[in-house]
């Protein structure tokens, strides 16, 4: 009797839940944001950290070269690149803000400043490619940042109105297709970028080709960014009609943009300049040694 009563009592007591140790829990445990996943955060943060370390390691040498009175455009881009890189690094590390209650305003402000800075670099580089050849350096610098400044101010103002005025979650990922206004705005944004890059490609293959800088790396950059903008536009279009693949592809474009765009811009615009300075210095040393007669024995 007592034994059966004991068994009945034991069966009626609720059993403690067994802790789950599946992959999804581990993924959430090691994730910085606990909403994007471990691998997303890893591929977002690691390239950004490595790029900052690369800039820091070469900063002393690069600053020495910039102090020699080189192009004001190069100095401006290098300084602005540092600012945007640090902003982007903060954005990558603070992914948890978009999933934390009470952090919506801080996350939207950080995303707004980061996206505006990266867009300013992107637009100013396109304006630099399309600048008139007759301009001197200061006119080209003023022309470049004047155009990019107007575009970025208008873009930032519109984003601010929609995010803080109408509550459109432009910078939050997991909203699906419930916000048609969000995807409509991103479609327009990506379409304008794709059209701008497509126009530069059109100029490159037209009779006005001589108006563009004669650097193959610039056109490789334009081709890559045109394809990327077209993919982002396609992803926003799919997400806008409710396709789950569109949301996944859009998140992938955001990941690639924030982790790879700034290093790609540095390699395209600034890396060649610093390497060219080394080559010019080596050529100067060679000329001095040749004038001093160090290589006369080679001709005997």
Contacts 24+ apart (CB under 8 A), 75-83: 76/141, 76/145, 77/121, 77/124, 77/269, 77/270, 78/270, 80/117, 80/120, 80/121, 81/55, 81/121, 81/262, 81/265, 81/266, 81/270, 82/55, 83/117
Is 198 among the domain residues?
Answer: yes
Domain count within the chain: 1
- Whether 193 is in a domain gets the answer yes
> Rounded to an integer, what distance in angstroms lies between the CA atom of residue 20 and that of residue 26?
9
Q: What's the CATH number where 99 sits?
A: 1.20.1070
Looking at the chain, list the stretches that DSSP marks H as alpha helix, in order from N- to C-terminal side: 2-12, 23-29, 38-57, 59-66, 72-93, 104-129, 137-160, 180-204, 216-240, 244-266, 272-291
Has residue 251 been placed in a domain? yes
Give the per-residue pLDDT at 174.
65
Q: How many CB atoms lie within 10 A of CB 84?
A: 20
Q: In this predicted model, what pLDDT tens digit does every residue of 170-181 receive, in sequence order?
A: 998 766 556 788
- Taking only the tens place, the pLDDT of each residue in 100-132 is 888 999 999 999 999 999 999 999 988 888 775
Residue 86 has pLDDT above 50, yes or no: yes
Residue 100 lies in a domain: yes
Range in 53-62, 140-149, 164-173, 215-224 the model is least confident about: 140-149
Range of the domain at 65: 38-168+176-267
* 284 within some domain: no
Please tell me the predicted confidence (pLDDT) of residue 70.
65
Structure token pair of residue 169: 């979650």
Tell whether 43 is covered by a domain.
yes
Rounded Cα–Cα distance for residues 205 and 120 (Å): 26
**16-30, 156-170, 197-211: range with highest mean pLDDT:** 156-170
**192-218 pLDDT, tens per residue?**
999 999 998 988 888 877 777 778 888
Using the CB atoms, write b or e for 90-121: b if 16+ within 10 Å. Answer: ebbbbbbbbbeeeebeebbebbbbbbbbbbbb
Instruction: Give the per-residue SS3 of 152-190.
Output: HHHHHHHHHHHHHHCCCCCCCCCCCCCCHHHHHHHHHHH
pTM: predicted TM-score of the whole model, two decimal places: 0.79
In a domain, 15, yes or no: no
Q: Is 48 a domain residue? A: yes
């Amino acid at each position: 009797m007592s034994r059966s009563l004991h068994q009945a009592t034991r069966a009626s007591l609720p059993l403690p839940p067994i802790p789950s140790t599946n992959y999804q829990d581990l993924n959430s445990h090691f994730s910085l944001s606990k909403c994007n996943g471990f691998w997303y955060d890893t591929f977002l943060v690691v390239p950004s950290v490595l790029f900052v370390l690369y800039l820091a390691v070469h900063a002393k040498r690069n600053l020495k070269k910039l102090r020699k009175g080189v192009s004001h455009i190069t100095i401006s881009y290098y300084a602005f690149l540092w600012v945007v890189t640090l902003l982007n690094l903060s954005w990558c590390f603070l992914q948890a803000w978009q999933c934390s209650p009470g952090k919506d305003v801080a996350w939207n402000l950080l995303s707004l400043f980061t996206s505006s800075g990266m867009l300013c670099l992107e637009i100013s580089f396109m304006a630099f490619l399309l600048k008139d050849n007759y301009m001197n350096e200061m006119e080209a610098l003023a022309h470049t940042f004047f155009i990019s400044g107007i575009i970025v101010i208008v873009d930032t103002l519109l984003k601010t109105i929609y995010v803080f005025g109408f509550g459109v979650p432009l910078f939050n990922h997991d909203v699906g297709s419930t916000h048609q206004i969000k995807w409509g705005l991103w479609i327009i944004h990506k379409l304008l970028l794709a059209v701008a890059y497509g126009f530069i490609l059109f100029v490159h293959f037209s009779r006005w080709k001589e108006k563009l800088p004669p650097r193959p790396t610039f056109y490789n950059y334009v081709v890559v960014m045109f394809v990327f903008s077209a993919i982002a536009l396609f992803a926003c279009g799919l997400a806008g009609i409710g396709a789950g693949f569109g949301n996944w592809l859009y998140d992938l474009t955001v990941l690639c943009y924030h982790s790879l765009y700034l290093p790609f811009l540095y390699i395209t615009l600034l890396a060649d300049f610093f390497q060219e300075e080394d080559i010019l210095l080596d050529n100067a040393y060679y000329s001095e040694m040749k004038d001093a007669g160090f290589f006369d024995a080679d001709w005997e």
